């Protein structure tokens, strides 16, 4: 948790911009095909463009920026900063967006993911499954921050034991509705045919081929088979969609879970004595494991007798408001942070509410006293 008064936030951003290494600013960006296969569904799939950049989890206890350019000790063969597989994940998570959490090993130069897009990808001792990493169909030899990437590389993170075959699905980009078309399933990178794989309601034969019939629109096919890693998506424009173009379609998990904010201070139900201690610092934590936290807002109202006020973050003072009303203002977008008032709260009856919204527009429910609402007095 970083304790930074809100009036210094702009200065911190300026300083951060000045500290970006020149090598990172001058690095040529690359575009790769990134795919993240969770235990039961595809969490992300699509083209990602990135240059040299640090890696940073978006949620959890470790959200600091880590060196991720292939140059640190034990992080691979490169002496020159280069884009890496983990940089591609960081770029995708910030643009799409989706959340990530986990721990970072500096010695291995690799993030270890606990969750991606709200789905657990942590090691399962019962099945020996973990988030295995591949580049161009080959099990990765280096940590994700030490493995350089180049234009057109296939970057895959797939939940399994690391011994499964990787399915590769190919077929036409366009089709006529109601007309059978042939698709092919093979092992990446050997190209060996895969029999018995399910795709589009059909099963592949000994040559790895299956015939599917598609309806009008943009159809996304994936091949699956027990004991293997599901294939890439084959996106087919069928009928009227054939002329529209479907390249670059991104697949990701849909986040429908709202974040949950909690006020750690000031304490709900507490009576503070102005002459001894009056609150000035608000501590807020937010649990968000889906699309990532977008914004946190607070509403602080004060009542003295029959007069009511609402705190303005812009003016940094209380202004008159209708009793039972008041207004919210944004205070940040971190999962664990503090907000510092310019001075101690004067005497009065206070209600402090927190509202958290994620990048999928899910909003936390309001007014749960003891969690995201604190009701307290200063006397």
- Is 339 within 8 Å of 263 (Cβ atoms)? no
Q: Based on the domain organization, do 34 and 114 belong to the same domain? A: yes
Query: Which residue, of 249, 278, 302, is where some domain finishes?
Result: 249
Given 210, 228, 249, which residue is the final one in a domain?
249
Distance CA(368)–CA(215), nearest Å, equals: 48
Across 59-67, average pLDDT: 89
User: Residue 76: what pLDDT?
Assistant: 58
Give a yes or no: residue 157 inside a domain. Answer: yes
Let me know whether 11 and 136 are in one domain: yes
Q: How many domains does the chain have?
A: 3
1 in any annotated domain? no
User: Which pLDDT score is estimated for 3?
Assistant: 38
Which pLDDT score is estimated for 290? 66
57 with 34, same domain: the answer is yes
Which residue segment(s) compose the domain that 329 sits in?
260-378
Q: Residue 352: which CATH number?
A: 2.60.40.10
Residue 111: which CATH number? Answer: 2.170.130.30
Same domain, 227 and 316: no
pLDDT tens column, 283-329: 999 987 666 788 899 999 999 999 999 999 999 999 999 998 899 99
- Kindly indicate the confidence band of residue 84, based on its pLDDT and cuts at 50, 70 and 90: very high
Q: Is 254 inside any structural domain? A: no
- In this prediction, residue 31 carries a pLDDT of 92
Co-location of 198 and 104 in the same domain: no
Q: Are residues 190 and 304 in the same domain?
A: no
Residues 12 and 146 in one domain: yes
**Is residue 131 domain-resident?**
yes
pLDDT of 245 over the 90 cut: no
* pLDDT (average), residues 149-164: 95
Within a domain: residue 26? yes
Residues 180-227: tens digit of each pLDDT: 999 999 999 999 999 999 999 999 999 999 999 999 888 999 999 999
20/148 same-domain check? yes
Asked if residue 205 is part of any domain, the answer here is: yes
Say which residues have a Cβ less than 8 Å from residue 145's Cβ, sequence separation at least 6: 55, 66, 67, 68, 69, 70, 72, 75, 84, 85, 86, 87, 109, 110, 111
**Shared domain check, 48 and 158:** yes
pTM score of the predicted model:
0.63
Q: What share of the chain in percent tops pLDDT 70? A: 87
Q: Which of 193, 227, 249 is the last residue of a domain?
A: 249
Q: In this structure, what CATH number is given to the domain that contains residue 179?
A: 2.60.40
Residues 144, 25 within the same domain: yes
Q: In which band, very low, low, confident or very high, does the pLDDT at 78 lie, cut at 50, 70 and 90? A: low
Does the residue 189 lie in any domain? Answer: yes
Check whether residue 374 and residue 275 sit in a common domain. Answer: yes
pLDDT of 246 reads 53
Q: Are residues 271 and 195 in the same domain?
A: no
Q: Is residue 85 one of the residues assigned to a domain?
A: yes
């Amino acid at each position: 948790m970083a304790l930074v008064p809100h009036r210094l936030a702009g200065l911190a951003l300026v300083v951060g911009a000045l500290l970006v290494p020149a090598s990172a600013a001058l690095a040529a960006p690359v575009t790769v095909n990134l795919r993240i296969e969770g235990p039961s569904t595809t969490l992300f799939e699509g083209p990602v463009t990135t240059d040299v950049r640090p890696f940073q989890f978006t949620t959890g206890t470790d959200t600091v920026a880590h060196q991720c350019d292939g140059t640190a000790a034990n992080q691979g063969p490169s002496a020159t900063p280069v884009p890496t597989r983990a940089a591609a994940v960081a770029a995708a998570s910030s643009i799409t967006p989706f959340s990530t959490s986990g721990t970072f090993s500096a010695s291995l130069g690799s993030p270890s993911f606990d969750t991606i897009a709200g789905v657990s990808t942590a090691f399962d001792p019962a099945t020996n499954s973990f988030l295995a990493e591949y580049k161009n169909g080959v099990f990765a030899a280096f940590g994700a921050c030490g493995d350089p990437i180049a234009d057109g590389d296939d970057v895959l993170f797939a939940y399994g034991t690391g011994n499964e075959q990787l399915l590769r699905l190919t077929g036409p980009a366009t089709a006529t509705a109601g007309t059978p078309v042939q698709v092919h399933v093979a092992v990446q990178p050997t190209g060996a045919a895969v029999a018995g794989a399910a795709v589009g309601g059909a099963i592949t034969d000994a040559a790895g081929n299956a015939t599917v019939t598609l309806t009008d629109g943009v159809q996304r096919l994936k091949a699956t088979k027990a004991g293997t890693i599901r294939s890439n998506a084959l996106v087919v424009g069928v009928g009227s969609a054939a002329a529209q173009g479907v390249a670059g379609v991104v697949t990701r998990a849909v986040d429908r879970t709202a974040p949950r904010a909690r006020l750690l201070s000031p304490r709900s139900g507490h009576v503070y004595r102005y002459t001894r201690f009056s609150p000035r610092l608000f501590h807020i934590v937010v649990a968000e494991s889906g699309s990532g936290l977008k914004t946190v807002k607070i509403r602080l109202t004060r009542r003295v007798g029959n007069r009511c006020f609402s705190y303005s973050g812009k003016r940094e003072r209380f202004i008159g408001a209708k009793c039972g009303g008041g207004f919210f203002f944004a205070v940040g977008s971190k999962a664990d942070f503090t907000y510092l008032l310019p001075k101690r709260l004067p005497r009065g009856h206070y209600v402090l509410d927190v509202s958290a919204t994620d990048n999928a527009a899910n909003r936390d429910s309001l007014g749960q006293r003891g969690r995201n609402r604190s009701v307290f007095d200063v006397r």
